[in-house]
Chain A
């Protein structure tokens, strides 16, 4: 077995040192009846070649979005990731190190976390960001729980444009903690009225921008309404590239930003792992979930970094911790940071403009297909179209032609007849005019 260094001789010598006859003698504390006599009945070990073949066989059964015209979004976006990113994150010192609890030999991880936290704070317009959470949906749930701790209130209002997975994740967590969730109905026109729902019992209002259906909104009036009632505004961002073109949530009055960072540096990977971003204003730092990296000095006075404010966390605070989270998304955060460093101010802003331009181009082309109506006045790189017929079968038909043409809203908002004809369509820098024409042509054939 190629991963196991011990030889038969080694094992015998070591058993002698221990003073037992066989490895089985080391398992004496296991109840006899529960000790398996032999290996379970599944295939035996294989070489690299065989394993690789097995995976290639499974991969071949999928339609890969790298080669296909792909217009899928809804919280996961196909972007071009520079080759540098993947080469660097595979360096063994990043890939195979543990959480940086020994700062003297973890300055690499700690410094990039400090850079990551700074980048996230800059993007979101907030004071402080943590060192990442699992994903955007769990970040949103953590934001609601944090808002409840800060305000000592019990109710969260969710906008109708919140990604259903984010809503459901939040509802699950809140349900177990006895928090009340007031979720507005899906708002495909982006016109849900949230102001009336905010009252003196409201811990926070959660608003996604751009919304699930693609609409862009100014958060400022919502922030003012929240603050007037002593509630917090939680801004959710599922497409982080949008912040290159849109005003930062912090600049519009958000108190907490919960976001998905997959678009920068991270492959789609069927939806995971990705990287949850979490940022707050200064006064709420000690109520934050997750790890934080801070600057300090070493014994010789040189600048260095450590994990800090750990007393919020489970390994010290146990049942009184701000969250039970332990593992974060370290390597995904590194990919995010490297990609964003490559982009810099110029590149990031250009990328955002390019995405927006692609979406405008696609919206124009789709509007020309008879039977299709674009619902959005505003959007960033994703919008909703009404197909005039059920969207799910259309998507299947497009897939049959090798095109990933969008996501039927009914997949995420099932059982709602008024949403059945709606299709979510995203365009990024990866979509050329030829892709768009192929989609429009296929739609003309299918509709």
Chain B
């Protein structure tokens, strides 16, 4: 997964053309526990980098999801409404949360690569 980037808020993003797909990392889903509900962003809405766009809830916690890049929401993963547990079982693929059309691809440069992210969460424990 060479083209995956990570944020310190534990989101991942992959890029396809000018569109990024965003989800939360395996570390984040493990910290959160069984996900019971996902509040998805509306498509068509535009957000600044680091804006709160979604909420992922477990029984005892609600975790805001911040977009690691600015842009317009072009898709949200509606499957999560019926199967929020997908975030636990497959956080990096089927558990994606939203797709965003990047308004400033240079913002990707500020994110962590996989090795740097692994170092980062290693320090958290």
Question: What is the interface of chain A, defined by CB distance below 8 A to chain B?
Answer: 286, 308, 310-311, 316-317, 320
Contacts and interface: CB of A to CB of B under 8 A. Distances in A.
B62 A316 contact: yes
A311 B60 CA distance: 7
Interface in B58-99: 58-62
Q: 3 tightest A-B contacts by CB?
A: A311-B62, A311-B57, A317-B62
A310 B37 contact: no
Contacts of B60: 310-311, 316
Nearest to B60: A316
A286 B62 CA distance: 13
Chain A's interface: helix, strand, loop or mixed, by majority? helix
Kindly state the interface size class of chain B when it binds its partner.
under 10
B31 to A, nearest CB: 15
Contacts of A317: 62
14 contacts: A286-B39, A308-B59, A311-B37, A311-B57, A311-B58, A311-B59, A311-B60, A311-B61, A311-B62, A316-B60, A316-B61, A316-B62, A317-B62, A320-B62
Nearest to B62: A311
Contacts, number: 17
Contacts of A316: 60-62
A317 B61 CA distance: 8
A316 B62 CA distance: 7
Given A308-B59, A317-B62, 12 more contacts: A286-B37, A286-B39, A310-B60, A311-B37, A311-B58, A311-B59, A311-B60, A311-B61, A311-B62, A316-B60, A316-B61, A316-B62
A432 B62 CA distance: 56
A316 B36 CA distance: 14
A320 B60 CA distance: 14
Nearest to A308: B59
Interface in B20-73: 37, 39, 57-62
A286 B39 CA distance: 10
Nearest to A307: B59
A311 B57 CA distance: 7
A320 B64 CA distance: 11
Contacts of B62: 311, 316-317, 320
Contacts of A308: 59
Contacts of B61: 311, 316
A316 B57 CA distance: 10
Nearest to B61: A316
A32 to B, nearest CB: 42
B27 to A, nearest CB: 21
Contacts of A286: 37, 39
| Most-contacted residue by chain B among A286, A311, A317 (CB, 10 A) | A311
